[in-house]
Amino acid sequence: MPQYLLHIPHVDRGLLSVESQVNLRALSKSVSMFDRERIRIGRRTGTLGGNGMTGGSLREALRWKSVLVGCGAAHGTVALQLGSAGKAHPHVLITAGIHGDEGPWGALAIAMLLESVPSRDLLGSVTVVPACNPLAMEADARCAPLDSLDLNRVFPGDPGGSHTQRLAGALVEHAVAGADVVVDLHGGGSWCVNAFAFSFPGCEDLAEAVGAPFLVTRESSRSVSHPSRHLGSRSRAGSAGSAGGAGAGRAGMPLSDYALSRGARVVAIEIGGRCPAENEWASRVAAGMRRVMQVAGVVARVDDDRPAMAPASAAPTASIHLGHSEVLRPSRGGVFLPEMRHEQAGRLVPAGTVLGRMVDPITLDTFQTFVAPFQPTALMLLRPAMAVLEAGAMTYVVGRVREESSPSPGTPSTPLPAGP
**Higher pLDDT among residues 103 and 229, named by residue:** 103
Residue among 319, 282, 336, 347 at smallest CA distance from 115:
282
Q: Could you name the CATH architecture of 17-295?
A: 3-Layer(aba) Sandwich (3.40)
> Angle at CA 98, nearest 5°, toward 394 and 249?
75
Q: Could you tell me the residue ranges of all domains in the chain?
A: 17-295, 323-405
pLDDT, residue 21, reads 44
Q: What is the pTM of this model?
A: 0.79
Phi-psi group of 256: left, alpha or beta (phi > 0 → left; psi -120 to 50 → alpha; rest → beta): alpha
DSSP designation for 66:
E
Q: How far is C-alpha 303 from the chain's CA centre?
A: 28
Phi, psi of 158 (to 5 degrees): -150, 110
Strand order in the sheet with 334-338: 366-371, 354-359, 334-338, 387-389
Helix 105-116, helix 278-295: angle, nearest 10:
50
Residue among 180, 53, 64 at smallest CA distance from 121:
53
Q: Summarize pLDDT for 46-89 with one digit per residue, the tens.
A: 334 456 565 699 999 999 999 999 999 998 999 999 999 999 99
- Cβ partners under 8 Å of residue 125, min gap 6: 51, 84, 85, 86, 87, 88, 89, 90, 91, 92, 298
Residue among 189, 209, 78 at smallest CA distance from 132:
78
Q: Summarize pLDDT for 195-247 with one digit per residue, the tens.
A: 999 999 999 999 999 999 999 998 633 333 444 444 433 333 333 233 233 33
Cβ atoms 167, 150 nearer than 8 A: no
CATH of 323-405, one of 2.60.40.10, 1.10.1040.10, 2.40.50.100, 3.40.50.12280: 2.40.50.100
Cβ atoms 98, 253 nearer than 8 A: no
Distances (CA, A) of 124 to 54, 119, 310: 14, 11, 21
Q: Summarize pLDDT for 305-335 with one digit per residue, the tens.
A: 343 334 444 556 789 999 999 999 999 999 9
